[in-house]
Amino acid sequence: MPFSQPALRQIVVNGWRWCVHANYISKDQFYRAHSNSMKEIENPPVLVSVRKLNANHQQNSDIHIFAILTTSQTTKQREKLNSVYCYIPNHKWHSIRRWTTLSPFVLINKTTQKISVQIGGMDKSRTFKTSDFVVNPGEKMSIENHYYAITHFLTYQKPKGTIELESSGLNLHEVIPSHKWINCWVDIEQSIFFGYCTHEDFQKHAYIQSKGTNHPTFGRLTETYWALSAEHLFPLTSLLSHTKNWQSEIGR
């Protein structure tokens, strides 16, 4: 089932909004944490970024689904063959509260290499879209594709200098140094779903875990999160059962 808003990992089912919170963890990191504390891994607090939750404008009936995706590191050979470098721009470039066109915005290549880049984002109707461009060294390319949100940039060759973004209409300017591009090629080995809850229940039971706090699975947190004990989650099977019932009723 495709995301209705891929940048926010949201699915709309029978008018209900499902928000998927899937955190990545390497297989080695998962098993190290697992061996250190079996009990904590079986019942860890699930996390939602405070920053991302504030941007989503949740309703009490919204459904939060929590999962971990375990990944394996690529080998050096696959690293060379399958590298995909990704950059996620500042949240101002994909703010739901500010829903107006970013166009025209400018992509400035300040490197000495030709860069092939994919831009992902949403249009006025919040439909996800991607566009591919080739930007020559020193070129300022005006992007006229009527993006209302920019969610990511992808390239198969890591830029060896800076790339800049400008939207004069919204007074946005961002510099992307070379080290900010991350290799986002990963192999998903296992998906572990902890369960789900409504946003109303989440608000009742969630508590803050500050930046720098040690989490039993993810280690030291790099930003502030809402945390929720897994005991407040319902099994995903019951949600899927409800979905089947809805589909049966629609088919009658």
Q: Do 89 and 173 belong together in one domain? A: yes
Co-location of 206 and 233 in the same domain: yes
Angstrom CA distances, 65 to 10, 114, 136, 197, stand at 10, 41, 42, 7
Indicate whether 110 and 98 sit together in one domain: yes
Domain extent at residue 127: 83-183
Q: Which amino acid is at 238?
A: S
Final residue of a domain: which of 163, 183, 203?
183
The count of structural domains within the chain is 2
d(CA 224, CA 209): 6
pTM of the model: 0.52
Domain end, chosen from 183, 200, 215, is at 183
pLDDT of residue 134: 93
Tell me, yes or no, whether 1 lies in a domain: no
93 and 116 both lie in a single domain: yes
Q: What is the pLDDT along the chain (252 residues), one digit of tens a residue?
A: 333 343 446 666 656 677 888 776 665 665 555 555 444 445 668 888 887 777 666 778 888 888 877 766 544 444 544 578 888 888 788 776 678 888 778 999 999 999 999 998 888 887 888 889 999 999 999 988 788 888 889 898 889 999 999 987 778 899 999 988 887 765 555 667 788 998 899 989 999 999 888 877 777 888 898 989 888 888 888 777 766 555 444 444
Burial of 88 by CB count in 10 Å (0-12 exposed, 13-18 middle, 19+ buried)? middle
Residue 140 resides in a domain: yes
The full 3-state SS of the chain, as one line of letters, equals CCCCEHHHCEEEECCEEEEEEEEEEEHHHHHHHHHHCHHHHHCCCEEEEHHHHHHHCCCCCCEEEEEEEEEECCCHHHHHHHCCEEECCCHHHHCCCCCCCCCCEEEEECCCCCEEEEEEEECCCCCEEEEEEEECCCCEEEECCCCCEEEEEEECCCCCCCEEEEECCCCEEEEECHHHCEECCCEEEEEEEEEEEEHHHHHHHCEEECCCCEECCCEECCCCEEEECHHHCECHHHHHHHHHHHHHHHHC
pLDDT of res. 77: 43
